[in-house]
Structure 1
Amino acid sequence: MTITNRQSGTNVHEIAEHIYRINTPVALPGNTPFSFNQYLVVDDEPLLFHTGLRGLFPMVSEAVASVMPLERLRHVAFSHVEADECGSMNQWLAVAPHATPLCGTIAAMVSMNDLADRPPRALADGEVLSLGRHRVRWFDAPHLPHGWECGYLMEEHTATMFCGDLFTQPGTGHLSLTETDVLGPSEAFRHQMDYYAHATNSGAILEKLAQANPHTLACMHGSAWRGDGAALLRALAAELAH
């Protein structure tokens, strides 16, 4: 792990081949430790998943610049429209003149065609985009955990799923990558601060994600996780069915 900003604690760690987790520890109200993560895929057409809040842009861009020149970025992607997911979208488009917002078709239709300074590239459910050696597939996941436009990307070469707010863990995320339990801490956090939409088809969507057989789950809050991703996604479905 490389710390790129001593004041904020922002750090970078390669969690899979040419996939880097950028982590910034923060404090929620009540001084509760928390974290925001972004993920950078370095390839012929580099991709950033999650932009971070506008206020985090100086730290996150500094971290990306420690890995590659900012102007090389080609895709700025996110799971759903929320400040920590895409708040600094236009700041990224300003420093990366060849980059395009990347999102699902619903997000493009209801938000990004207006919010983004450049037209978005909208991916349909199951659509694949080649970055070079890496290939990312989009999965529509409406209302899981929240947001009509919610969806996820799966990098197929490394079997890394950028799973957004699924498996959100409290704490600073000081472990970049773990193989220990994340379902327990994330479920405890969900019960304290329920951010799920409780849609009737959540189990079916989780099964769709499980069938992709991810080996690494790149969580937006807390540690990334490595192991039997299909089993973990099905375990989450079982918890939500209670």
Structure 2
Amino acid sequence: METRVDEIADGIYRISTFVPDVAGPAGFTFNQFLIDAEEPLLFHTGMRHLFPRVSEAVGRIVPVDQLRWLAFGHVEADECGAMNAFLAAAPRAEVAHGLQGCLVSLNDLADRPPRPLAHGETLDLGGKEVLRRRVLHLNTPHVPHNWEARVLFEETTGTLLCGDLFTQLGDGPPVTDHDLVEPALAAEETFRQTSCLTAAVETMRSLAHLAPRTLAVMHGSSYYGDGAAALRALADGYAERFSPEVAFAARPSVLAGSNAPRG
């Protein structure tokens, strides 16, 4: 495995580890994103066993003990498995997450009390005015999955830290201006990770109003370009491909042998 570091937007770094024997022959990337600011923020920690690799990569940009904030899309091993290892390595660091995630999981799981964020709350990471970093917290329950799911939007660079949205298989370039929608829909066909389809489609369309210039994607390449159009196209693709009618038509065996009443 190789862990590489690439700057995908001004002062925002993608830390990526490609694992070839996960998710079939194409393999899978596990990505973290570091915002280099007066109060540095790491979005995703990686799994516990990746901590040595990820922390070494963070240290190429800022000293690990200077990290101020740890954040992630939802509570899952690849998003926050190394959370407590980073808390131990960075004495000033706090976990910042939505209130729901704090109440349900993080008040118990985190070695230090987390900082709960309200929907629409902005976390100021500091810096000079032109380079000031601010991240907007937005609750996206069940999108793409988990009750406490959320995204962060870095306002200065227009970067949407979108977690598992736009997940792709394989090991593409760090950032691309090529279409991510078809690869993301293909990955959804494999994983079926997204829940509450109607809510997911509406949430993606609402995120398009942010007009992000960069989509920081946890699994696969990030995207630079018209992020609003990409979000709307992904929403349309989900609505067309994964509506209940399409899903059941494509998978008639779902009801085969069930005890459902027969008309």
| TM, length-normalised to structure 2 | 0.87
> What residue in structure 2 maps to residue 5 of structure 1?
none
For the Cα contact (< 8 Å) 1:100–1:120, is it kept in 2? Answer: yes
User: SS state of the match for residue 198, structure 2?
Assistant: coil
Work out the CA distance in 1 between the residues paired with 2:121 and 2:206. Answer: 14
> What residue in structure 1 maps to residue 204 of structure 2?
206
The answer on 1:25 being equivalent to 2:44 is no
Give the count of matched residue pairs.
234
The answer on 1:230 being equivalent to 2:228 is yes
Return structure 1 stretches of 4+ with deviation > 4 angstroms: none
> What residue in structure 1 maps to residue 190 of structure 2?
192
Structure 2: runs of 5+ lacking an equivalent: 127-131, 241-263
Counterpart residue type for residue 117 of structure 1: D
1:176 aligned to which of 148, 162, 174 = 174
RMSD of aligned alpha carbons: 1.0
> What residue in structure 2 maps to residue 104 of structure 1?
98
Structure with higher helix content: 2
> What residue in structure 2 maps to residue 127 of structure 1?
121
Work out the CA distance in 2 between the residues paired with 1:130 and 1:29. Answer: 37
For the Cα contact (< 8 Å) 2:23–2:169, is it kept in 1? Answer: no
| Per-residue deviation, 1:207 | 2.1
> What residue in structure 1 maps to residue 260 of structure 2?
none
| Per-residue deviation, 1:123 | 1.0
| Per-residue deviation, 1:96 | 0.3
Identity of aligned residues (%): 52
| Per-residue deviation, 1:31 | 4.1
Larger gyration radius, structure 1 or structure 2: 2
Work out the CA distance in 2 between the residues paired with 1:98 and 1:48. Answer: 13
1:113 aligned to which of 107, 110, 121 = 107
Matches within 5 A, 1:146-161: 146-161=145-160
> What residue in structure 2 maps to residue 4 of structure 1?
none
For the Cα contact (< 8 Å) 1:143–1:199, is it kept in 2? Answer: no
> What residue in structure 2 maps to residue 166 of structure 1?
165
Encode CA deviations 1:124-173: one digit per residue, 9 max, x unaligned: 11110110110000111011110000000000000000000000011123
Work out the CA distance in 1 between the residues paired with 2:69 and 2:17. Answer: 21
